Amino acid sequence: MILKASERGHARALSLHLMNADQNEHVDIHEIRGLASSNLHTALQEIDAASMGTQCKKPFFHVQLSPPAKADLTVAQYEKAVEDVEKKLGLVGHPRAIVFHEKDGRRHAHAVWSRLHEKEITRTNRDMGEKEQGQKLVAKQLPHFKIKLNELSLALFYENGLEPPKGLVDKSQRDPNNYDLKIWQQANRLKEDPRDLKQLIRTALESSDSRGALEAVLKDHGMYLAQGNKRSFLAVHHSGEPMSLTRYSGMKGKEITAKIGEAKDLPTLAQVQTQIRDQQSQTIKKRLDNLKLRQQTEASPLRSEKTALTQNHRDERANLKAFQKERGKAEALVRAKRLRKGIAGMWDRVSGKRGRVARRNEQEIKDNRQRDRDARQEVVTRQLAERQELQQRMRKLKTAHDKEQKLLVRELGHSVQINDKVLTNEFNDQVQGREQDKQKDKVQDGFNDAAKQGEKDKLSISFNEKAETGRKDKKADEQKKGQGRTRKRDPD
């Protein structure tokens, strides 16, 4: 399975991501270990609070375990993989949480460890002049964890009988259309497939030997070349969204310069956005809107089927969980009655019968837990198969819709210039809306940075407020005293 890992902070953002039931059809908190709270939000905040007494700004180590889409792995196999990660990186015994996600017929797991641990230190007592042994809370250093996890990832593929990706075996055969989080967020705002965007831009650059050739290829797909501020070379989407050529193509700026010339010779982003806006017309907008409306109507039955199927699956799992909980209580009462009390219980201890009954109860507990786990796994496997069948139909329809959109965009890429004030205003609103979406992608990290810093600043803010209040009270007292002296001097 693929292992993606990072050291990170922001307990609130991490817990919201792990418990996101909007983007994930099923969220299951499998385990919380070594923490006082059984709630994921407060458990991660517990780690974050402990890190405030250290210099560690990233107290969490987050690993995503993603097997292939059609792989049917059991919970025990996921647990084994998590334990292998612990041993590989030296995180054995650290507090952790394991969460399962299911989305679009795929199941993957998230494991989060606390990097904090107590380290034995020796310090000198200044008063006594003697050395003392003590403990200090520090963060576990994880050097080269990506290299180590790549090696472990390949081993897990072979161990679980799965075929590893070619790029994992040989780096030179990696899929160039793989994308990172920023590309996925941008493609999601544009309602595009990130792999298609990467392939389009990369193929256009590789097949072009001049600026004119590249502009012609991009224009066929409703894109334009521009120069940016932070990024020298930009490909501007037909909706006005700028995309970095270096990020999407995987080529360096010098290589792009050698192909199409200096970036300063290109029009600015504002000029290109104005050009796109001027080339739009009410007729074009109507055709785009009609296409989107028709495609939404065609996809509506499948979306409704997905919603109903997801709800049925959630209800089935909730009923199974409630049934197993009640059955577990009844079985616990039966086991408890086997242990006699009073004089009979004392005789059972002397004769050794109580020990045999206790061992029998322990074995039954293990067997019952495995029985319940197997029942849950059976339900999950069956539901994943049903969801994958629906996902195949949805993917087939989406592929047809994407093809229609590309053909229409290519046709509209050669449209005549027609000015339209209404469309201009709508275009500007759309660009502004995407800018707001960008800020939303960044605001959470900024909010958590400010929140964490705010926890440290609360004391100083409170102190300043109290000091200011004290100064105002003191000034008011002095004014009252001054008024009192003035009254005493005035004749009656």
- The whole-number pLDDT of residue 18 equals 94
Given a cut of 90, whether residue 79 has pLDDT beyond it is yes
Percent of the chain whose predicted confidence (pLDDT) is above 90: 44
Q: Strand, helix or coil at 178?
A: coil
For residue 124, the cross-strand partners are 131
Task: Determine the length of the chain.
Answer: 492
Given a cut of 50, whether residue 472 has pLDDT beyond it is yes
Q: Give the model's confidence band at 409: pLDDT under 50 very low, under 70 low, under 90 confident, else very high.
A: confident
pLDDT average, residue stretch 428-450: 56
Q: What is the pLDDT of residues 14-51, one digit of tens each?
A: 999 999 988 899 999 999 999 999 899 999 999 999 99
Given a cut of 70, whether residue 491 has pLDDT beyond it is no
pLDDT average, residue stretch 100-113: 94
Residue 237 burial class via C-beta count within 10 angstroms: exposed 0-12, middle 13-18, buried 19 and up:
buried
- The whole-number pLDDT of residue 484 equals 53
Given a cut of 50, whether residue 458 has pLDDT beyond it is no
Residue 372: both structure tokens together? 């319940």
Of 86-100, 165-179, 432-446, least confident by mean pLDDT is 432-446
Which is more confident, 65 or 180? 65
Distances (CA, A) of 467 to 453, 454, 463, 471, 473: 21, 19, 6, 6, 10
Q: Give the model's confidence band at 422: pLDDT under 50 very low, under 70 low, under 90 confident, else very high.
A: very low
- The whole-number pLDDT of residue 439 equals 62
Given a cut of 60, whether residue 446 has pLDDT beyond it is no
CATH annotation of 2-123+133-173: 3.30.930.30
- The whole-number pLDDT of residue 430 equals 55
Q: Nearest to residue 304, comparing CAs of 382, 394, 385?
A: 394
Q: Give the model's confidence band at 253: pLDDT under 50 very low, under 70 low, under 90 confident, else very high.
A: confident
pTM score, whole prediction: 0.73
pLDDT average, residue stretch 81-105: 94
Which is more confident, 365 or 221? 365
Of 38-42, 157-161, 302-306, 472-476, least confident by mean pLDDT is 472-476
Given a cut of 90, whether residue 418 has pLDDT beyond it is no
Residues 6+ away with beta carbon under 8 Å from 441: 185
Given a cut of 70, whether residue 163 has pLDDT beyond it is yes
pLDDT average, residue stretch 294-317: 93
